[in-house]
Amino acid sequence: MSLQNYRWDVLAPATRLGKPDGRYRGSGEGKRCWKRLGCEPRLDLQSHIADLEAKGLLVRIDHPVNKDTELHPLVRLQFIGGIPEAERRAFLFTNVVDATGRRYDMPVVVGAIAASAEVYSLGMRRPVEEIGSAWIEAIAHPIPPVRTNAPRCQEVVIKGDDLRKPDGGLKLLPVPVSTPGFDSAPYLTATFCVTKDPDSGIQNGGTYRAALKATDRAVVRMVARAGGAGGYQHWVKHNKRKTPMPIAIVVGAAPVVMFTGAQKLEEDVDELGVAGGSRAAPSR
């Protein structure tokens, strides 16, 4: 199904650019949105996955798939096998095992953020031709994130000796081997890594590969640009101070948050603020 076959609605514009008092910012002819699914970008990955499946943009695999040898190569075939971009899909693996036969109690989704322009468009709730201008507006009019007292990502907290159990800590996560035969460890490839500049206090969010080295340790590579990415620059400052750098490695963030992690923004721009600007409401 091509993007042109989807139906769009036109909404009345908001009264001022960057204010959350209208469904979308802008002036003139207003903005278009996905028919029946609404115009607000999803604020959690689970809802976005459900939308992908409803639109036929996700393939569900229920039989056992080995995360160490099969999972990523299976998805990668659609990018190297001559399949047209419009036919590329996200994949949801609900029965994940590893090379030892261990089964995991959580699924793995791959390609749900940007497997194709249609997948990206659904995450933004914008037609493809408006995505560029939408990000320009969001960067120009960021909305800072706000704290919440009950974050869902902290409903389960594992710490201390529980992190160091042979099958505990990070080993509880079904992290795939991205390139079997070449990668030295399982890698988290769709992260949103949040760090803070110790001088200015400005946060940075970046998408970096994180290799699992032990149940309580991972290695993150932050060299996405000349001189190192924003997170790396923060590490350099902490290293000079001889202080450990706090970092949050987020897996499964909302699509509009994940989209900002791969952008090459100025180092004094908080990606979470840009994500808020993209939906005219703060991230929480």
Helix (H) or strand (E) holding 86, with range, is none
Is the four-CA dihedral 112, 114, 120, 124 of positive or negative sign?
A: positive
DSSP, collapsed to helix, strand or coil, labels residue 236 as: helix
What token pair was written down for 76?
């990668």
| Pair 149, 160: CB distance under 8 Å | no
192-214 pLDDT, tens digit per residue, is: 999 999 999 999 999 999 999 99
The residues facing 31 across adjacent strands are 11
Q: Are residues 118 and 89 in contact, defined by beta-carbon separation less than 8 angstroms?
A: no
Burial of 15 from C-beta contacts in 10 A (0-12 / 13-18 / 19+): exposed
**Torsion angle defined by CA atoms of residues 232, 233, 234 and 240, in that order, rounded to the nearest 10 degrees:** 110
**Residue 127's Cα: distance from chain center in Å?**
19
Specify the pLDDT at position 135.
93
Q: Model confidence over 79-107: pLDDT tens digits?
A: 987 789 999 999 999 999 999 999 999 99
Q: What is the DSSP string of 36-47?
A: TTBSSPPSSHHH
pLDDT in tens, 33-54: 544 456 778 888 999 999 999 9
Q: Which two tokens stand for residue 47?
A: 């809802």
Model pTM?
Answer: 0.82
pLDDT < 50 regions, the chain: 1-31, 34-36
Rounded Cα distance between 230 and 218, Å, is 19
Q: How many residues does the chain have?
A: 284
Q: What share of the chain is helix, strand, coil (3-state, %, to 5)?
A: 30, 20, 50
CA distance readout (Å), 143 to 24, 147, 192, 257, 270? 14, 13, 18, 12, 9
pLDDT at 151: 83
